[in-house]
Amino acid sequence: MVAYPVHHGEARRYTRPMIPDIRVSVRVHYAPGHSTPGRHVFVYHIRIENHAEESYQLIEREWQIYDGNGQVTQVQGEGVVGEQPLLRPGGVFEYNSFTSLSTAPGHMAGTYTFRDAWGERFRVPIAAFALTLPEVRTLN
């Protein structure tokens, strides 16, 4: 946020002191029906909650996807699932997406870039989450 409060007849610029309280949670599961040998598909559900007192628009995403061999795939783009949602105070936005790995296990991490009403941008980190195959249990 950029604002120009008047202080003794002159404008002074100040910026947001910290990242607004936007929380991101992730649930992920393996999708065996969409997976094949050498292509493991994982579906993830994202929940974004605005606990701040202002509205913010999600405008960009960036993901780093690591496979079981340590190979990294970078994914960047506008918004999420074709949208650039505006989260009002107390607002929530949820969506599902997927990724695939040639070698599991792996993990993903990333950031969302948001914009406030004044056009100021800031990034919210998305903590790393595991992409693991379910355990195979055999009966004796």
Q: Please say if the pLDDT value at position 53 is more than 70.
A: yes
Cα 63 to Cα 2, 66, 72, 93, 128: the distances in Å are: 28, 10, 10, 18, 10
Distance CA(25)–CA(20), nearest Å, equals 16
Provide the terminal-to-terminal Cα distance of the chain, rounded to the nearest Å. 62
Distance CA(44)–CA(95), nearest Å, equals 8
More confident residue, 3 or 101: 101
Helices (H), the chain: none
Owner of token pair 């918004």 = 79
Q: Please say if the pLDDT value at position 130 is more than 80.
A: yes
How many other C-beta atoms lie within 10 A of the C-beta of residue 21?
12
Model confidence pLDDT, tens digit, residues 6-49: 344 444 444 555 789 999 999 999 999 999 999 999 999 999 99
pTM for this entry: 0.82
Domains, the chain, ranges and CATH? 18-129 (2.60.40.1470)
Owner of token pair 């094949």 = 36
Model confidence pLDDT, tens digit, residues 69-116: 999 999 999 999 999 999 999 999 999 999 999 999 999 999 999 999
> What is the pLDDT, as a whole number, of residue 15?
53
More confident residue, 139 or 127: 127
More confident residue, 12 or 54: 54
Q: Please say if the pLDDT value at position 1 is more than 50.
A: no
Provide the strand spans (E) within the chain: 2-3, 6-7, 10-11, 14-15, 22-30, 40-50, 56-66, 72-78, 86-87, 92-101, 106-115, 121-131
> What is the pLDDT, as a whole number, of residue 137?
66
